Amino acid sequence: MTAAGALFALSPSSPLPQPDWLPWRIQQPIAFNHNVHVEELGFECVDCHLYALTSVRATIPNIENCADCHEEAQTESPEEAKLVEYIAAGEKVPWRKIYRVPDHVYFSHRRHASIGAIECEVCHGPIAEQVKPVGRPYWRPTMDNCMECHEESGASNDCVYCHD
C-alpha cells in the first residue's frame, strides 16, 4: 500500500476516501458533480483544468470555461442555476482551494502531471466518481509523503527542487 493509501479511511457518505487527519470539509459555493462531467459527458481533467499539464498551477475552472456549455441552463439542477447566475453577472465562482503547500515549497503541477506522467487520480483519488463537491484533499502534501512518493517513483529528493 502506498503512503497516500495508508492515510485514509473510507467514508460511507462519499465515494472518495476521506482523510482522517482533516476533521472539516471545505464548503464550495456550487455542488459540482465531477461524475456527470467526466463519466457521463466524457470530459478529461484538462478540458476544465486547462493548465494541469503545462503550468505550475492546474487552475480551478471558472465562468470562462463553464460558459461554453452553461451560458443557458442545460438541466433543471438548482446547482447549475447558481452557475448560470454567476455567468450572467460576469462574476467568478468563489471556489475554495482544497490543496495547499507551505509558502517555502515549490510545487509544479506540470512537473508532476506532464513530465512525471502521474495520473490525476494518484493525488486526487477517484475524482471521476465524485458526485458531491470535493471538500478535503485526497492526499496529504507533507514532507514525509512527498519524500516517500519520490523514493517510490525514483524522482529526486534533492531539497533544491522543491524548497526555496
At 2-36, the pLDDT tens digits run 333 333 333 333 344 445 555 578 899 999 999 99
Looking at residue 62, its pLDDT comes to 86
Q: Going by C-beta distance under 8 Å and a sequence separation of 6 or more, which residues neighbour residue 129?
A: 15, 16, 34, 35, 39
Looking at residue 117, its pLDDT comes to 93
The helix/strand/coil state of 103 is: coil
At 98-153, the pLDDT tens digits run 888 888 899 999 999 999 999 999 999 999 999 998 888 888 888 999 999 999 99
Q: What are phi and psi for residue 5, nearest 5 degrees? A: -65, -30
CA-based angle 121:118:156, to the nearest 5?
A: 135
Q: What is the distance between the alpha carbons of residues 20 and 123, in angstroms, rounded to a whole number?
A: 16
Looking at residue 164, its pLDDT comes to 77
At 22-80, the pLDDT tens digits run 557 889 999 999 999 999 999 999 999 999 999 998 888 889 999 999 999 999 999 99
Looking at residue 22, its pLDDT comes to 57
First vs last C-alpha separation in the chain:
31
b/e map 127-151, b = 16+ CB within 10 Å: bbebebbbbbbbbbeeeebbebbbe
CB 52 within 8 A of CB 123: no
The residue behind cell 483544468 is 49
Looking at residue 20, its pLDDT comes to 54
Q: What would the grid cell of residue 45 be?
A: 481533467
Looking at residue 159, its pLDDT comes to 93
